[in-house]
Amino acid sequence: MSMDSGIRGFKKGLITLWRLTKIIVPVYFFVTFLKMTPILDMISKWFEPAMSLIGLPGEASLVLVLGNCINLYAGIGVITSLTLTIKQITILAVMLSFSHSLFLETAVAKKTGVSLFFVVTVRLLLAVVSGLILNIIL
């Protein structure tokens, strides 16, 4: 029984690794490609004023957009391709813990009868407030 459990666990681990790799690796290469073009600089400059309020560079907006629209693993793929400090990564991680996968999780919340506007507003508000507070205390 122990050997069978180990084999099943190993197979499930490989399946999970493959699923995560299919998301993280392409996002990593996409953002790395953007770094070689003026596009990332344009995005950074456009988001810089808002992102500076929470202690993040403009390019960190990609982490929040992809983490909120796709999932946490897309956000992780972006984080790994950027040069960020521990403070900045912590702020992003906490913000995404409140607001990740907005489309999917809002659809799930809708099934329970909760207001979509309420769910999205609360999650985004918690993310922004946590980013502001962490920027001050870290």
Q: Retrieve residue 22's tokens.
A: 């299919």
Q: In whole angstroms, how far apart are CA 53 and each of 4, 12, 95, 135, 138? A: 52, 42, 13, 8, 13
> So what's the pLDDT on residue 111?
84
> So what's the pLDDT on residue 114?
87
Task: Evaluate whether residue 19 is within a structural domain.
Answer: no
Number of domains in the chain: 1
Task: Evaluate whether residue 62 is within a structural domain.
Answer: yes
> So what's the pLDDT on residue 104?
86
Nearest to 94 by CA among 56, 41, 49: 56
Beta strands per DSSP E along the chain: none
Task: Evaluate whether residue 91 is within a structural domain.
Answer: yes
Q: Retrieve residue 94's tokens.
A: 């906490």
Domain range holding 59? Answer: 24-137
Half-sphere exposure of 103 (CA within 13 A, CB side): 8
> So what's the pLDDT on residue 130?
98
Task: Evaluate whether residue 14 is within a structural domain.
Answer: no
Task: Evaluate whether residue 107 is within a structural domain.
Answer: yes
Task: Quote the CA–CA distance of 32 and 28 in Å, as a whole number.
Answer: 6
- What angle do helix axes 72-81 and 61-69 make, rounded to 10 degrees? 160
Task: Evaluate whether residue 95 is within a structural domain.
Answer: yes
Task: Quote the CA–CA distance of 133 and 37 in Å, as a whole number.
Answer: 33
What does pTM read for this prediction? 0.86
Task: Quote the CA–CA distance of 80 and 24 in Å, as a whole number.
Answer: 9
DSSP label at residue 56: -
Task: Evaluate whether residue 40 is within a structural domain.
Answer: yes
Task: Quote the CA–CA distance of 69 and 55 in Å, as a whole number.
Answer: 22
> So what's the pLDDT on residue 108?
85
pLDDT per residue, tens digit, the chain (138 aa), is 588 888 999 999 999 999 888 888 898 888 888 889 999 889 899 999 999 999 999 999 999 999 999 899 999 999 999 999 999 999 999 999 999 999 888 888 888 888 889 999 999 999 999 999 999 999
Task: Evaluate whether residue 63 is within a structural domain.
Answer: yes
